[in-house]
A and B are shown apart, each in its own frame.
Chain A
């Protein structure tokens, strides 16, 4: 579910989409006379795009910062008299006991999820490239995690990993193992949600990498096989390097999605037990909607930190891309 909105909502792809939208008929401003005519016309053409950007990007962003810099209690929210508190919310968030676990868990959650999602997705994509009987059907079946509503798949995972009635523990016990408290052991809860998230993210990686593979000319492979390259050498010398641009964008998109995952973790563990599977995104959600009293300001401060984190990686990507273009 989180992936399905990708072409519209991701910051990377949005400008193209928005440019397409601005091709709509211009306003009635064409009548403008004088030497500034063309300028006005240009502005009129750009207005829909500008309005779109301001309404859907700039305003929410500004609102988020505004929330984070004020003390928005429900009372202040209704009365519209929130006190300006400067960076207090950020200081509170950073000095909170939850900050360190949330940071460590966010990094672990993102890194481990990405590594496995990408490598398994790539392995499957290469595997399905050699079409064999039923390969299309099998490939289709790998998309199922993507098609299921997240509430369904996350609840199913929660049930499978249940300490007492879960199917995973039943299997373990049947083979003479011990029960494992997948979701209730503070040392394991994070790993359990990571496993579920990897499973959820594989189809996305599979689909993009598979379509990337389609763009690699087959004669390269023929040439390689004539030169006597084995499948391993073919992969490392041809497939992997030629797939690099697609890999980079897959990883970047995956990173942004994984950073903001709330639903899987919330449904499976609510970030618990205690704080043992909490990430920034879940923490922000918990502050805003998880308690009896919405604390919008700290939630917005945490959200801002997340945006900064995503932005840093976005710049890393742009940097890499530029270097690639130069070389």
Chain B
């Protein structure tokens, strides 16, 4: 009798706990879509990774305009890029997904794999005008999970003062050999050759991929002779003093800081530095990253996809489609590119319109056309696991703890194990 009372009490405590846990779990993400008040068509939730653009920014206003055109109010929330993926997964788990998410392109396949996204076919979106190489990052099998709102990628910035002093003509840098020759000249002239980001995170893989792909290597075989050749290129630059030792821990931002000191001939960096390069204390220029024997190497695409998570109330899709359509017109793409100053429109029409306004971006349009999605080739959710091994190999080779061949052999074995 006494015992059973104790047990009952314990049960009550347990129930209370479960209840409180349950309540907190629901309340953490529920606020997003439950605030359904406002305009006639209701309130639509929108998540994007641009916390730097606040409510009064032109970006926020543009989002709102698209909502107005669809006859709804948009409630926009901005998260940090990495936090956004986790938030999206949490919301999907609790069934409180927002109506629209702007998500970094490698994360699209991760979200799609959970079944939380609608396909463009479900919504009746037209993707025929989008460049195939850009759309591929958001495709698995025969399904397309979203539309890129713009793309950016990597290219090679140069410091014109230093190249002139060393007698290097940037237009002759079209292959690895000519780049090596240029770096040797710059070093002989007493300057530092090139800087890049070899940090042990996704950024390290992102920066290495143009050389990896440019050598003809494939992400499914990390230890191919082509891959070893690409990693040897980087390792030799550090060994010969063309690149500083700090590249091993450089993020893309620190790389750029180094370049802005004015000591470096070249820096590998992205479209997002275009404005910063313009305001540098020295004249700069940009060329596409060279492939091993010439031509533009495929650089990985950056930029966000606009995706529509699955909703219980499928009636919401009509307005969602209108919002997405509004963001992805030629005019919309160009506006996005202007707002952020670092996006290239993903359609031929958009690119032409942008070039009319900004002819100086033509190198970037070329680079984006040659670019390749990291999750393309149907790699999808396997990519992050392969990438982790790739940047580890880069770190080991650059720091001298393993030869490029050994580091990549190990990476391939580990990647095989990880993707099963």
The interface of chain A, by Cβ under 8 A from chain B, is: 36, 39-40, 43, 47, 50-51, 54-55, 59, 74-75, 77-80, 97, 158, 162-165, 179, 181, 183-186, 269-276, 289-294
Contact = CB atoms under 8 A, between A and B. Distances in A.
Interface in B96-147: 106-107, 110-111, 113-116
Closest 7 CB pairs of A and B: A292-B384, A273-B399, A293-B384, A272-B200, A78-B114, A184-B248, A163-B245
Contacts of B392: 272, 274-275
B385 interface: yes
A71 B407 CA distance: 28
Contacts of A47: 13, 16
Contact of A273 (B82, B111, B248): B248
A39 B5 contact: yes
Contacts of B92: 78
Given A270-B199, A270-B201, A293 B20 contact: no
Nearest to B95: A78
Contact of B384 (A179, A185, A275, A291): A291
A186 B397 CA distance: 11
B200 A291 contact: no
Nearest to B375: A292
A50 B16 CA distance: 11
A281 to B, nearest CB: 16
Contact of B89 (A40, A59, A78, A183): A78
Contact of A59 (B21, B200, B384): B21
19 contacts: A40-B9, A78-B92, A97-B414, A181-B245, A184-B249, A184-B399, A185-B400, A269-B249, A272-B199, A273-B399, A274-B396, A290-B201, A291-B202, A291-B384, A291-B387, A292-B110, A292-B202, A292-B384, A293-B385
Contact of B200 (A181, A270, A292): A270
Which of B245, B381, B384, B396: most chain A CB closer than 10 A?
B245
A185 B9 CA distance: 59
Interface string B209-224: 0000000000000000
A291 B21 contact: no
A75 B115 CA distance: 8
Interface residues of B, number: 51
B16 A51 contact: yes
Contact of B114 (A36, A77, A289): A77
Contact of B86 (A55, A185, A294): A294
A164 to B, nearest CB: 4
A77 B245 CA distance: 40
Contacts of A292: 106-107, 110, 202, 383-384, 387-388
Which of B14, B20, B388, B398: most chain A CB closer than 10 A?
B388
B398 A273 contact: yes
B410 interface: yes
Contact of A79 (B110, B114, B258, B402): B114
A274 B115 contact: no
Contact of A274 (B244, B249, B401): B401
A196 to B, nearest CB: 14
A47 to B, nearest CB: 6
Contacts of B385: 291, 293
Contacts of B107: 292
A195 B11 CA distance: 51
Given A75-B115, A184-B246, 5 more contacts: A40-B9, A51-B13, A274-B200, A292-B387, A294-B86
Interface string B59-96: 00000000000000000000000100110010011000
Which of A55, A184, A185: most chain B CB closer than 10 A?
A184
B13 A272 contact: no
B6 to A, nearest CB: 8
B245 A50 contact: no
Which of A36, A158, A271, A292: most chain B CB closer than 10 A?
A292
Contacts of A80: 93
Contacts of B20: 51, 55
B411 to A, nearest CB: 10
Nearest to B113: A75
Nearest to A185: B399
Interface in B379-420: 381, 383-385, 387-388, 392, 395-396, 398-402, 407, 410, 414
A50 B398 CA distance: 53
A75 B410 CA distance: 28
A86 B16 CA distance: 29
Contacts of A293: 110, 381, 384-385
B2 interface: yes
Interface string B239-280: 000001110110000000010000000000000000000000
Given A78-B116, A293-B110, A276 B399 contact: yes
B17 A59 contact: yes
Contacts of A269: 200, 249
B199 A54 contact: no
B244 A43 contact: no
